[in-house]
Homo-oligomer: A and B are copies of this chain.
């Protein structure tokens, strides 16, 4: 019995490690996507776009593995709850990969021009850095189940919201001179970063709930 239990624990640890790997992966993809849009780097954008299939496959395999573990081990109570939560986390993380992919597609769409006017580069530099920081911290939260850090992720998200408001103010200012098409690109880009961070917060909250049994 002790042996079986231990094998099961190994499987649970394996799921957790895969979630960490996926989270670090989508952090790196958003870092690359941000770099691509800030430097108009088409090659880097194409790398991010091409990586989306691998992220989808990784999630697909992970989900199949989770369902297989439930079928074989028939876990109850907290273990089952952890596995059901892992299914939701993998969906959040896969979506974060999609959003990095969306950013890279705007790099490609506007190439060789830049989607981001020079005076807004600092906002997107900060937005990208904040989003990647949140994702990397979320990977640590999954690995360590550190609930203080899970709460920090939630606070870090406020920075993205502040940057978003700053960007919108620039777009609707009377001296905005870059036209509607650029405003549309920036609105969508801003939304992608916001949603990316929202999904990371959602993952951190799920860890918080698993550990404490309470909502953050």
Interface residues of A (CB under 8 A from B): 63, 67, 70-71, 74, 76-77, 80-81, 84, 87-88, 91, 168, 171-172, 176, 179-181, 183-184, 187-188, 191
Contact = CB atoms under 8 A, between A and B. Distances in A.
A74 B168 CA distance: 51
A57 to B, nearest CB: 13
25 contacts: A63-B84, A67-B80, A67-B84, A70-B70, A71-B77, A71-B80, A74-B74, A84-B87, A87-B87, A87-B88, A88-B91, A168-B184, A171-B184, A172-B179, A172-B181, A172-B184, A180-B183, A183-B183, A183-B184, A183-B187, A184-B187, A187-B187, A187-B188, A188-B191, A191-B191
Binding site secondary structure of chain A: helix
Contacts of A191: 188, 191
A63 B209 CA distance: 15
A176 B168 CA distance: 19
How many copies of this chain are found per oligomer?
A: 2
A81 to B, nearest CB: 7
A140 to B, nearest CB: 25
A184 B181 CA distance: 10
Nearest to A67: B84
A63 B87 CA distance: 12
A210 to B, nearest CB: 13
Contacts of A183: 180, 183-184, 187
